[in-house]
Structure 1
């Protein structure tokens, strides 16, 4: 009889364990995979030891290394995000290794009581979005770090809600992605509404742009700016695809698309076909809404950017902001060849476009926004040096709310409940807890950016210049970032 009682006790313990895992709200993995999910955390705890002897080191994994993920996780949980015993990067033999040139006389952090101390606005954008063109609803964004475009449908409802609540807590802007404005975007965070080639949320029955529906959405949601999506870094030159299996009745209603069929976004817009007609469309949206209007694009052929700058210089039309997405961006699933070989990396794309607008004397009239693996302090700071006024974070935001880099976004079976519409998997993601984690991450990133700027001798990250950066090569050589990216040489420091 002893074995019977032993079996009963084991079964009861396992049932209690399963019940606890399913009901707890902090860990989506444990909710979705009771008991088994603990093995993930146990293995992660001994991960450094395993990798040291038999797997990979802290910097080998892609797209985000173990060190990078650990920094995001630690920052989002407000635990110690320091690393001990010096860098494990190989500085002397790593090509294109970024070095930040600090000042011999860095600025101290402002303290409570100081005139410069303002915890709400020390990391605000230095430009007014829409200010240069006198838009009726121009404004100064409170945060230089904001949420990149990720659609409801591609991400789950709890994930969108967590990000929007987190945006409200952190005082940052939330880009809706091209999937339209959902109820989960209305949890307190202010929005940049992205309009893509399929015009979700503002389309008629034929899939063409509908100005009356556009007007209705603007009037009923906390939208601060409009972003016209030309392309994205994950799959530039291709349209988007939301598989039929991910389309719920709610998504169908929000996007205005039928159930049971793949939801396809065309590769290009039907409302315009070149820089000239694009600017007509931009001004039409701005006149209708009073909002700042900009564009988002990965960078390929440069003729478009030359034409756009020329049209803005020679006419009274223009975009208020430009979001440059790097070819290394990747919140959207894509064909491998498009992910790997189409569109310029962010650093090259941003510098190429910025120089065009600088030569046309338009760079101060446009707010430049960068995206594409910029959610880490050193990458973000270089983006500001290249001319960005703000940055967007996408996958790093997903990591902050629980993504484990399973790379199953395209399957609908995201184990963290983020990139899925599976009710069971979504049930493990608690929006309240994850909102706090996202806000913690944004606050930490902004704080470290401010600290880096002060280490360089400037009071704001946007005041950093390329003279503050050096690029190492694998032959004990170095090159200034100014020369490497073709910017005018600034005065010596």
Structure 2
């Protein structure tokens, strides 16, 4: 193709020139072909893209299809059970619940019961008539002065900057309507988090955005001011997250606008690096002292930590330190390795971090073994979409959960996987004003509230079907998993309590 480009280009130009000289009204041919010839010539001489160099002009079509590959697959090629990381069935559950439309489906399940790993709930022969449950939990240990009555389903951490202004506003409005909490993410507390007056869980990570000094270290005074905000109900220190545990992050200069810089306490239009580690603590003893300081500065609000579990010994040693010193957080958020609503390092995204099921079971039994289970609440995050997802994590020991990508679907996310490119077609993860304007806050905030309400109602229906009246009665023995062609086991067999826990 390359060797024919120059002769073909010369031939086309000659034909166009002859036609224009012969009959001048053919000038429009120049407008049609000359721009294409210019693009082809650029492709011919550039050296960075082999396909475009070999196939001038036509190579651009290949590049376009490659960039839109996932979108084309999602829309045209995949069936209802094939999409990744969420298939159409999962997305449709959110879309329908967010829109308050029909949530039934005809003709039976499309998820094969023959598939290994398939899970299902073991219902009761005699369902209950009602559920004695308000789906709220009280977060606050014996060390906490201001416990918070929290919904069991809340908005996962998504900072302003990773999601747009309108997305932040819609989530805040939906949380206010539905009576649940919005986690701010680690990008600082903004005016958009205060707009509708929803309860907030203020999160900060290694960058200490919103509560950092000019050197990037934790600033006591700024943190104390944030905690005086009446809408801030709890504090969450992000030690690590599921998509990139143990990895740092970079905020590109082009996304570091004046407004984002103001809220994060950084210099605008510069590249900002968040380290993989905290400068305020690097040992269990230092973590405990830091949490004590936060408890004091916040005037007794619930303090929690968020982490993705790596080495089992590290987690157990931390809980042991909490137990020995009788000082501990009010809640721990376990983020599964399958979590992540934003961009992450390619290696960490695929191969670092423990998946949620085993990590949650480990966290639960470790807290029990050290006598801290009644003191510390367990929050979880990682692909929480449906009522069954909530039921399952409760069976494994959770007290409450976050949903980030579920809430994004409620906002209209189509899983185009362009969150890190600033080209999100739905206006959720972009700072582009034109794209952001497509997200209508008044419509989407109601859909966020609908999704929350209908998901909780779905959980209520599951409780009724299983013959129990509250979430405390959910157990691992109520969920079965198909292991292979001949074996089906209960979650209680896969994740039994260790002997030391039972003693």
TM range (shorter): 0.7 to 0.9
Structure 2 Cα separation of the partners of residues 376 and 258 of structure 1: 40
Structure 2 Cα separation of the partners of residues 149 and 241 of structure 1: 17
Partner of 2:124: 103
Structure 1 runs (4+) greater than 3 angstroms displaced: none
Partner of 1:207: 216
Partner of 1:386: 396
Is the Cα–Cα contact under 8 Å of residues 375 and 392 in structure 1 kept in the other structure?
no
Which stretch shows the higher mean deviation, 467-476 or 148-157? 467-476
Q: Is 1:76 matched with 2:98?
A: yes
- Counterparts of 1:33-182 in structure 2, within 5 Å, are 55-92=77-114, 94-109=115-130, 116=132, 122-125=134-137, 128-130=138-140, 132-141=141-150, 143-182=151-190
Give the superposed CA RMSD.
Answer: 1.7
- Counterparts of 1:343-382 in structure 2, within 5 Å, are 343-382=353-392
SS in 2 for 1:409: coil
User: How many pairs does the alignment contain?
Assistant: 426
CA offsets per residue over residues 382-430 of structure 1, 9 Å max, x none? 1000110101000110010111111000001111001011111111111
Match of 2:273 among 256, 259, 264: 264
SS in 1 for 2:136: coil
Structure 2 Cα separation of the partners of residues 124 and 233 of structure 1: 25
- Counterparts of 1:203-242 in structure 2, within 5 Å, are 203-242=212-251
CA offsets per residue over residues 121-163 of structure 1, 9 Å max, x none? 72212xx211x2241211221x110011100110001000100
Partner of 2:52: none
Which stretch shows the higher mean deviation, 428-437 or 215-224? 215-224
Is the Cα–Cα contact under 8 Å of residues 297 and 325 in structure 1 kept in the other structure?
yes
Structure 2 Cα separation of the partners of residues 216 and 480 of structure 1: 49
Structure 2 Cα separation of the partners of residues 307 and 450 of structure 1: 37
Gaps in structure 2 of 5+ consecutive residues:
1-70
Structure 1 Cα separation of the partners of residues 371 and 383 of structure 2: 28
Structure with larger Rg: 2
CA offsets per residue over residues 99-134 of structure 1, 9 Å max, x none? 111111211236xxxxx5xxxx72212xx211x224
Structure-2 change in CA distance of 1:262 and 1:463 (3 Å)? farther
SS in 1 for 2:149: coil
CA offsets per residue over residues 438-471 of structure 1, 9 Å max, x none? 0000001111111112211211234201111111
Is the Cα–Cα contact under 8 Å of residues 258 and 269 in structure 2 kept in the other structure?
no
CA offsets per residue over residues 11-46 of structure 1, 9 Å max, x none? xxxxxxxxxxxxxxxxxxxxxxxxxxxxxxxxx9xx
Match of 2:482 among 458, 472, 475: 472
TM-score, normalised to structure 1's length?
0.84
Partner of 1:243: 252
Structure 2 Cα separation of the partners of residues 90 and 429 of structure 1: 36
Is the Cα–Cα contact under 8 Å of residues 299 and 343 in structure 1 kept in the other structure?
yes
- Counterparts of 1:434-453 in structure 2, within 5 Å, are 434-453=444-463
Partner of 1:286: 295
TM-score, normalised to structure 2's length?
0.82
Gaps in structure 1 of 5+ consecutive residues:
1-43, 111-115
SS in 2 for 1:282: helix
Structure 1 Cα separation of the partners of residues 323 and 230 of structure 2: 33
Structure-2 change in CA distance of 1:229 and 1:219 (3 Å)? same
Structure-2 change in CA distance of 1:174 and 1:383 (3 Å)? same
Q: 1:221: Cα distance to partner? A: 4.5
CA offsets per residue over residues 262-304 of structure 1, 9 Å max, x none? 2221101000002221111111101221111010011111222
Q: Is 1:458 matched with 2:471?
A: no
